[in-house]
Each structure stands twice: as C-alpha cells, then as structure tokens.
Structure 1
Amino acid sequence: MKAPVSRVSRFLVSGFAALAGLMLAVGCSSSNSAPLADAGTATTTSTTCEGAPDLAKDDYCASCSFAANASPTTCKVPRTINACCAFVQPPSQEVVRSTGLYRYSSNDPALQLGCLDTPAALGTPKPITLTGFVRLFSSGNDSAGVKIEVFKEGTDGALGDLVGTPVTTTDSDAFLQPKPDWLKKCPAGGCTFRAFKYEGVPTETPLIVKTSDAKGGTDWSPLYDYNVFFSNDQVGASNEFSYEPQAVAATDINTVASAAGGFTVRPDKGVLAGEVHDCGDVRVSGAMVDTDTAHEGDVFYFGENEADPLPDRQRASAGTSRLGLFGTLNIPTGTPIRVRAIGTVNGQTMLLGSHTVQAFPGAVTALSFRGRRPWQK
C-alpha cells in the first residue's frame, strides 16, 4: 500500500513526464480549446501536470491511497487532476445546472452545492415500502417482465445482503397514465411503465437496486444501480416512498457501445454508466468523470437529446451535457472501482462526487452522483 497522497505534492512529476505532456498538449490543443456553447463559460484547462489546479471540496478523502490495481497512479496528460486517488481530466468549462428536461431538471438555474461542505446527518434506519413505476432508459416499449431486487451496499462496492422480497412486473400490472411519449422509441400512444410495490426497504442505508430480465432471457440487461439512498425526512407518515427504478433493454447496450466508437461489449466485462447531479438532485453539464481502473477507450459523454440518449464523441473535453450522462466500457469485474466526478464553479475546480462500485459480467453498473453523502465525513 502506498503512502497517502498529500495535497501539496500529489501533482509533482518528473521533468521528463512534464516535457512529454507538453508535447502531447501541443499536438492536441485544437480539440481542447473550443467548449460547446451549451455548457457555460470556458475555463482554463491544464495541459501539463504542473499546471493542474488543486482540487477543492475533497477534504474527506484527501488522505486516500492508490489501490494496488489503479491505472494510472501518476499524472498523465490529459488526466492531470488527482481526485481522491483517481486521475481525471480537468474541466474545460463551468458547471451549469440543467433546465428544460423531463427528468432531474429544474427551472431554477442556481446550483445547489451545500452538501459538498456539509453533508446531511445519517439517521436511524427504518423499513419503508417503495412504490412507483419501472421506467425505460430508451428502448423496450413496455416494462413488464422486469425483476427488481434491492441489496445493501457492501464494503468496497460489493453486493451486500438482499433486503425485502424481489418483485416482478407483469403485463397485467397497472401502468403510468398518461403513457410517456417523449422517448423516441416509444410506439404510437406512448410507452408502458409498469407499477410495482417493494416492501421492507431500509432508510438511511446505502443501497443497490438491481433490475433484470425476470425470465432470465435477453430482453432486459442486468443493471445494478448504486448510490440509492432514502433519508427519513423524505418518507411520509405512510412509510411509503415514490421511486422509479430503471430498466435497460439489452439492445441499448450494443447501440451505446457502437455510438461510443464502434466498441464491442465483452461478456466477461462490465459497463459503467451514470449521471452527475448537484445536491438538489438536478443534472449538471460541464462535469468530468473517470475511474481508478482501466477501461476500454476514454470515458464518454452523452449528447443533448433526452428522447434518444447516445454518446457524443465531440464532448470528450467538454464533459457532461445537460443530460449529465457519462459512460465507459469493458471495465474489470469483481474488484472495487473508484468513480470520481469533478467540475469548475466560479473558477474553482472541485470534487462533485465520489463513490466506489463494482462491475458484473455482461451487466451495467449505474451510478448517479448526488453530491456528498451522509456517510462521507
């Protein structure tokens, strides 16, 4: 185990590495100099390791140590910012709160970042019932046949104990009305989001919600949704909470991999996908994300089209669009993976989120950052 990384020295590298970084920056400067118009005011992007800004709002993990399998473990252009022992490419523009979307959007453009300094207190768990509708990521038409399981999050992102009893949606279940019709692949009349009810879910507990094909077929890809958390103050007197788990059609995974650069998803590896939100659970644009473990190709970011979300390779240096969506492919399974999100606000680059997950063969690991969580002290 390496010694903790100090905030003063963690960006110092050898003169040779700096020279190599400078030469690479000259060769690639044209692709990093023009931010996309929707993502806010451009900021200075470091093209060498010595020029990388120090990271704010990361005091709770400033003494981390790099994992034995971390890659890279030193600054390598363009990933020049050490974000809790995972190197991330610096943002090229300011973070902007998303407006005008169907989900995780707001009419208030003011970023909510208070939890980055003062996370909420962790309360005493109590059992609640989740109710709602199983929504679709993009394809599928009808979310019948989806199995829902809820697990406690174990150490280092491992899948913990199952809580409650798994439930399965059927074609006789009630559905959301009026039917959502804003997804591009919905049929005439809209998509069918099936209702579910899941009892015995603990509050004040980090959870993983898994959705999969109830028949073990290939209609729905296994999806493990991390960083799910229900606080006591969110739950009413009925001890019920409205929640919408997500189902991902297996065809969507191949479509995303192809759009990201003609990749093929390996059955022995995992896919990572997620969103960056502020403390008010609203998506943000301009955030940069990466992991401390190897992945095929670069982290990619999705375009602006909420009705048909697909990777946009032109966003490599711009970061998340207003959808807040990011992803990467063919990550190792069965090992802790540190995922970090950073962004620049009023000229200050800061940690927007930090979480450890694991990947599963042939499955999607989903992670939505929602600021600093109660257990991150």
Structure 2
Amino acid sequence: MVDKVSSSILDLTEGACGICHRILEEISDQGMRAESRECFEGVDAWLVDASGETVGVGRDITWAPAILRAEIDAGILPEDIAFELEDILTDKTDLRRVARMSGYGRVVTSAGLIISLIWENGGYVEVKRDGIGVRAIFYDENGDEISNSVTGFCPVCAINISAGRVPSIRRKIAEQLKGSKNTGQIKYERGILNSIRWKNRRVYTDLIEDDKIIGRNWGCCIAYSTVRAEIAAGLGSKKWNRIFKHYCDQCPLKHCWIGKAMGALGNKVLHRMKNVNVKEIVRMEDYITVDIMDNEKRVGYGIGTLCSLSASVNALMRSDAIKILKPTPAEGFPYKERKRKEG
C-alpha cells in the first residue's frame, strides 16, 4: 500500500511534468523507484516499492508521462489532481498514431521534423500552457490553425500528438523516418531496463541489461537523465551525443540549480507568460529553439534539446526576464511610497 501524497506539496503551476517529478522525489524518499522499458507504442513504466513489489503501471509515448500514469495508477495522487492529469495523457488511438511516425518512446526527432515541415510551408508552431498541461498549435501560412490543437504532458508530446491527428503530416514524417532504427527500438530489442530515482536534488537513471548496469548518469529531469545514461552505455549517434553534451556544457542553470526538475521550471515560465499575454513560438535549428514574442516583437529566445520546456528556461536566463515575465509590484511589502505634495 502506497501512501497518498498531500495536495499541499504539489504546485499545479509546475504542470504535469513538474508534478510527475515531485511525486518521483516523494516516492524515492520512501525507498521506491520507477522502472520502464521502451515498446512500439512508447514506454511501459511501473513503480517498485521497497520490497520489490509493483504498485502502479502505465504506458505513454515517452518515459515521464508513462511514469506519471504509473503514479496515478498507484493511487499516490489526490483524486481531483489525478483526474485532471489523466485528461492530458495520451489515449490509445493517439499512441498508435504517434508510434507510426517514430515509436519506441522517441519523440524529439519526429517533433523536429514536424516543426520544420510546418515552417517550410509558411506556417509556425505556438506552445502555451493550458490548464495543467501544454498546448501545441499549428498554424498555416495564413495564420489559420491547421488542426485542432492538442493539450499534452509537455510541448514535444503535444506536437507529436497534434501531428499524428493530421494524416498528411503523419504520413510525411513516417516516410522520412522509414527504415531508421532509433535508440528506443535498440533498447527494446536488447531488453534494456531503465531504473529511475530522485536523489540529491536530481534524477538518476541506471540502464540494466542482463542484470548488469551498462550505463548510469543523472540529469535535471527524467528525460535528460535517461539520455545521458544511454550515452554512458554507448547508445545513440555520435552527432546527437555531441550536440547534447554541448547543450549541457553551456547550460547556465546548473550553476544556480535549486533542485526543481527542468519541466517544472519551464511550466512556471509558460504559466506566467500566458498570464501576461507573451507568446512562445517554436522552431527547429540544431536545437529546439523558442522565440518569445510580445505582440510582434521578439523579446527573447532560448534553446533546448529534449523539450521546449528547457528552451523556455534557457530563454529566461539568456534574455531579459523582465520583458518575458513582466513582474508585478511586490505584494505585502511593508514600505509605502509617500504621495508627492501638489503645488
């Protein structure tokens, strides 16, 4: 039996990703861990308690939302929050659609191709907070929505799901990736297990094959930690691994790390941006790149690798945060300015 967490420890402005990681921290303190394996439709995840028993299972298009499903299945979250979260996780139809493009838990390459395709045809992609999730909206060259936008666990998830619902886009991305074997598929064929814990204010991942640890590393979230562990295990392309390392090398956040998952911070940024009518437009270069727009003026930009939430945080640190977040006057501050005398 797993204890239900109090809603008081959860900050809903940190979004689904932030909540997932906060629960991971909580259960890790109780001696539990999350485990996962890639499968064709994405990732299967489950929670393991201190006695080795499985207490919750879940499947979604990549590691973190699959783990969140397992956390919900284990009955750890308050019912009202769990209900809201279930609404932004991926249903079976969308799982199959996304898998036809890439599959095996890999969503970044396909997201990059989707973003590039939209831009090549004169459109653009907007990402914004929507309730507890993140919404991705595709626009054509006339500024009209290409399809019904989707609210998902994170921006990259939402981009893949949105594309999966447009047959012409889905077929084109599937054709571009046809015949390629991604790292998730390699791990699936080799039966590699991901073992994930929160420790020392960050996420640790072990890759286990035939009961032996073949790769171990840590990172600012489940995705970054797992990919770094894959690199440690000798997986992934040399080009991608080099790009990924370069991103981590130049990430300024590591020097002022406060022990919050990258997705939690990114969601906080998007939440504030929505409240002050600042938009985030996503494009693809070597990295996922976001342009922060106040009306028609670009007031900042940032880069990320595995998710545009990291790009949102990166934008805050490399740009003028005042223009992005538009701070309000301090609340409850005891000093009161004196009124100027007239005349």
TM exceeding 0.5: no
- TM interval, short-chain normalised: under 0.3
TM-score (normalised: structure 1): 0.24
Which of structures 1 and 2 has the larger relative contact order (alpha carbons within 8 angstroms, sep 6+)? 1
Give the number of the structure whose residues are more often strand, by fraction: 1
